[in-house]
Amino acid sequence: MKEIVDIVRFWRARRYQPLALATLVRTRGSSYRRPGARMLISVDGASAGSLSAGCIEEEVVASARDVIRSGKPRLISFDTRRRFGCSGCIEIFIEPVANDVLRELRAKLAARQSFQIATVFEGSDVLGSSIGSGSEKEYAFVQTIWPTLRLILIGTGPDAAALRSNATLLGWEVVAIEAIPELRDTPDERSAAVIATHNFGRDCAALRHLLPLGLHYVGLIGPRKRRDEILLDVIDSGAQLNSQLFAPAGLHLAADSPEEIALSIVAEIQTVFGGGTAEHLRDRKAPIHQAPTEPWATSVP
């Protein structure tokens, strides 16, 4: 998601310049990025986003500059088995991109609406990307973009500051407040909340407000005994327990400092919203990138 935000920011600084959009549309075998990875490239070679671990970006930029000059889209492929030892092949579609597409992309992100980007390509008959439902045509590649993950951070201590820093690094939207009465907007399904006030009354008030909302992640910092005491207060108040509560918040990383604790919590939030397992990749038998259960990245053969 940070990549899309970076692309929109890049476009806003260059909206009057010709630009090309490069999209990873198909993979075979292993690949560092999955279909839907994107780069936006200007005619001077500057770019935002990435398509690999840095192996092919230079060649993609060179091809994108040719696409900008000619105005003709191009589909290019890389056999990473021979060149980089990555045991896979990837295909990149590069197209001149219109301002209205990027303007609509920006508007959808600002409105926190999910939407689809559809890219049509078939040999030399390439039609380019558009934003819409994807229901009227059979697209070669359709990706659903979800709203930026929003972290509602309640508290102002050192761990809250470290959480804000970690979340910002990942491109999440951060809403930082001292106590729950300061929360102005109702959290949506792409919102996670972490309670780090270290004040019994404020923690109880925050949970009474957040737990009935059905959020996928509500984290509470503090030991189990304190959690149990707070939950008793919340249950006695009659609050519905509809949200997923993670308390103590965080994965077991042997964390001690505020920065380490923040890392463990951010990793847990990513696991919940990304559908991960938090297991060691060394021990994982299934593919690292499992097939999505939501149609956010689907290809039509």
**How high is the pLDDT of residue 90?**
80
Q: Which residues contact 10 (CB under 8 A, 6 or more apart)?
A: 40, 42, 46, 47, 48, 49
User: Cα-flanking dihedrals φ and ψ of residue 94, to 5°?
Assistant: -115, 130
- For the chain, give every domain's residue range: 2-147, 150-274
Rounded to an integer, what distance in angstroms lies between the CA atom of residue 289 and that of residue 212?
33
Q: Which CATH superfamily is domain 150-274 in?
A: NAD(P)-binding Rossmann-like Domain (3.40.50.720)
Angle between helices 158-169 and 258-274 (to 10 degrees): 50
What are the average pLDDT values for consecutive 10-residue runs of the chain, which has 301 residues?
Answer: 85 88 81 82 89 77 91 82 65 87 88 83 54 51 87 93 94 95 94 96 96 97 94 94 96 93 96 89 72 38 29
Work out the angle between the directed axes of helices 200-210 and 224-236 (0-180°, nearest 10): 60
pLDDT of the residue at 78: 79
82 close to 111: Cβ distance less than 8 angstroms: no
Compute the C-alpha angle 77/79/81, nearest 5°.
165
**Cβ partners under 8 Å of residue 103, min gap 6:** none
Give residue for tokens 């997923």. 244
- Cα–Cα nearest to 62, from 49, 80, 74, 53: 74
Neighbours of 192 (CB within 10 A): 28
- Say how many Å lie between the first and final Cα of the chain, rounded: 25
Return d(Cα 75, Cα 83) in angstroms, integer: 19
C-beta of residue 131 within 8 angstroms of C-beta of residue 104: yes
**Element at 158 (helix H, strand E):** helix 158-169
The pLDDT value recorded for residue 59 is 84
Helix, strand or coil for residue 14? coil
Residue 150 pairs in a beta bridge with 173, 191
For residue 125, the tally of other CB atoms under 10 A from its CB is 8
Helix or strand holding residue 150 (H, E)? strand 150-154
